[in-house]
Structure 1
């Protein structure tokens, strides 16, 4: 928790120093898509069934906020809908972009904006930096209470992406999910993106985890998604 307090303080100081250069324009963008499977940190959130999703993002200077929704299926009678709320700031230091934010993962059977049976909150600290044609990144997410009363949880990831041509790109990530009162696991993914148009993109991605014994939803899979952004 001390790490996040220091990170947020540093972000606030950076934002104050760059305040004069902040672009005072509000931007609004939308996205909608479909996928063969909703995979989150290597784990299927739809029992390996298709996903339909969409979201709205608001930007103002280095600040951002948004809402995103998707169908889910955890193998029980509930929940069936996930609605995420998030916000934060993205200051820059040289050619590196920082990202400090808060995310709330809400589910249809939980009420209000507080953690419930399924819902939970995470704090995020991330950085990305171009190195030649490659963009490298790292991120840490921390939750004070994981669903199921499993205590605090941390997800740490390193990632990278590189353009292969004008329309093709390659990206990959390696992460570890650690939960206070549950077993940890490692996850990784690698995929190719293709820009069908300026607003429509296709992604084909291989996912896997270190713990296939946790069940079928933790096993290796390939997910295909089609996303429109405008």
Structure 2
């Protein structure tokens, strides 16, 4: 974990130098985020076996906000022996009939996985969302034709609702269903609040759980705290 965490920190710290070289371009701009949490949760399941994690991402967005792309890293705990996942993704954000749409393609791989392990995969995501005053709603559909490891294709469908209580405090709750070939099918849910400590610093406290009947911390319930800094 220490070695992968060091790699992640070095990568994250190198991102601002890339930004300095690129942010002056008239075609678009770079933004960055770094953070850490008590558990790395994705689709309501843990990717770090319940251990703390760190993450960082860089994102270039064109001038009108329609297209974006960039790399990201996050620490994990995988049966492949990898403790770091890297990814590159790109997407578009059209507005259709008053709804915000986000269509994304991501390629990710596990760094330093053992020989013979299927350590990379593609992930495709479609999100549609709408805000009316303080109320928010979002539907997410994700698909991968071949997951990492022994599991194959999977789909994830999630509905989420939210409410802005104040300018700084918001809450969300979500329920999702994951169907996986050669792996566990489950329903997951989470609910929590996000507080904007400053314009760039957020803290999120969230409860996660699933109905998966599997041992270990991957699908177990957990209260997760995450802090993120954007610049």
TM-score range, shorter chain: 0.7 to 0.9
Equivalent in the alignment of 1:196: 197
- CA shift for structure 1 position 52: 1.1
- TM-score, scaled relative to structure 1: 0.82
Q: 1:212–1:219: 8 Å Cα contact kept in structure 2?
A: no
Contact 1:146 1:179 (C-alpha < 8 Å) held by counterparts:
no
The CA deviation at 1:212 is 4.2
Q: Distance in 2 between matches of 1:217 and 1:26?
A: 39
Equivalent residue number for residue 95 of structure 1: 98
Question: How many residues were matched structurally?
Answer: 202
The equivalent residue for 2:110 is 107
Q: 1:77–1:125: structure 2 CA closer, same or farther, 3 Å change rule?
A: closer
The Cα of 1:223 is off from its aligned counterpart by 0.6
State the alpha-carbon separation in 2 of the partners of residues 217 and 149 from structure 1: 16
Q: Following the alignment from structure 1 to structure 2, what is the Cα–Cα distance between the partners of residues 213 and 152? A: 20
Deviates more, 1:78-87 or 1:92-101: 92-101
Residue 63 of structure 1 pairs with residue 81 of structure 2? no
Q: Secondary structure at the match of 2:69?
A: strand
1:73 to 61, 72, 77: 77
TM-score by length of 2: 0.82
Q: Which residue of 2 aligns with 1:168?
A: 169
The 2-side partners of 1:176 and 1:158 are apart by: 9
| Of 143-152 and 63-72, the range deviating more from structure 2 | 143-152
Secondary structure (helix, strand or coil) at the match of 1:218 reads: coil
Residue 219 of structure 2 corresponds to 218
Q: Identify unmatched segments of 5+ residues in structure 1.
A: 1-23
Q: CA RMSD in A?
A: 1.8
Give 1:77 deviation, angstroms.
Answer: 6.4
